[in-house]
Structure 1
Amino acid sequence: MRRPLAVAFCALALGSCGTNGSPAVPMAEVPTVSSAKPDKLRVEQAKRDGHLTVPLMISVQPGRDEEVEQALERLGATVESRDPRIGYLRAEMPVDKVEDAHLIKGVSKVDLDEPLGNKLPEP
């Protein structure tokens, strides 16, 4: 007797997870320029620390990875890896050009990729 109730509850819960009340936007209407700029404070800190380049993780719109990679290279970046299946590029970008990366058509988001500190925990 509990199983049908559990199935109904799950269906209701999953149904409410959909679009959060907002209509679905067709891909053609998705903006082609990123609205998510990289964190200015972290870029400024990298400049103060004397870094010439910073690692970036860049989210790319489907099918635009080669176009974005070429644009990044024109800005002086070195693309270290890319995965078109999930739409991400990892690039080493000159610190003074980071602000321009989000202006590239086809870029959804730009994040500074922080290296992991491999310090041993102290007791």
Structure 2
Amino acid sequence: MRRPLAVAFCALALGSCGTNGTTAPTVLFSEVPTVSSAKPDKLRIEQAKRDGHLTVPLMISVQPGRDEEVEQALQKLGATVEARDPRIGYLRAEMPVDKVEATCSIDGVSKVDVDEPLSNRLPEP
């Protein structure tokens, strides 16, 4: 008999937490700032330069509906866009090493990561 009463009390207590009788403000996604949240790993970029690579593969997270705009901006910087999936806001591009830093300043870019190729070696016993 005590258990249902305790559960009901907890539900009421949790239901009223933090509201104080007011509703939380609604923030539209379009009002979220378009500033990049993360810069690519500078150590990997510097290593690519030392190794003599002219380009590096990038995985780029794009804000919804801005993939075409970002793709055009990347191409202006000299990138080759290899894959694009607007459903999840993803671009994969081959970018000149000296232009990687500029990728973060493109409007609509959320995050930039230097992509690393996967090793397909079989594990040794």
**Separation in 1, partners of 2:49, 2:91:** 22
> After alignment, is 31-40 or 71-80 more displaced?
31-40
Greater Rg over alpha carbons, structure: 2
1:1-123 residue pairs with structure 2 within 5 A?
25-123=27-125
**Separation in 2, partners of 1:87, 1:48:** 31
Report the Cα offset of residue 122 of structure 1. 2.5
Say if 1:107 and 1:122 are closer, same or farther in 2 by CA, change over 3 A: same
RMSD across aligned C-alpha pairs, in angstroms?
2.3
Q: Structure 1: which 5+ residue stretches go unaligned?
A: 13-21
2:99 maps to amino acid: K
1:78 maps to amino acid: T
Say if 1:122 and 1:60 are closer, same or farther in 2 by CA, change over 3 A: same
* SS of match in other structure, 1:100: helix
Say if 1:81 and 1:122 are closer, same or farther in 2 by CA, change over 3 A: same
Identity within the alignment, %: 82
Report the Cα offset of residue 119 of structure 1. 1.9
Say if 1:116 and 1:25 are closer, same or farther in 2 by CA, change over 3 A: same
2:36 maps to amino acid: S
Report the Cα offset of residue 32 of structure 1. 1.1
TM-score by length of 2: 0.77
- Across the two proteins, how many residue pairs are aligned to each other? 108
**Separation in 1, partners of 2:111, 2:27:** 18
1:29 maps to amino acid: E
Could you list the runs of 4 or more consecutive aligned residues of structure 1 that deviate by over 3 angstroms after TM superposition?
Answer: 22-25
Deviations 1:56-81 (Å, cap 9, x if unpaired)? 11000011000000000000000001
Report the Cα offset of residue 33 of structure 1. 2.2
**Separation in 2, partners of 1:34, 1:28:** 15
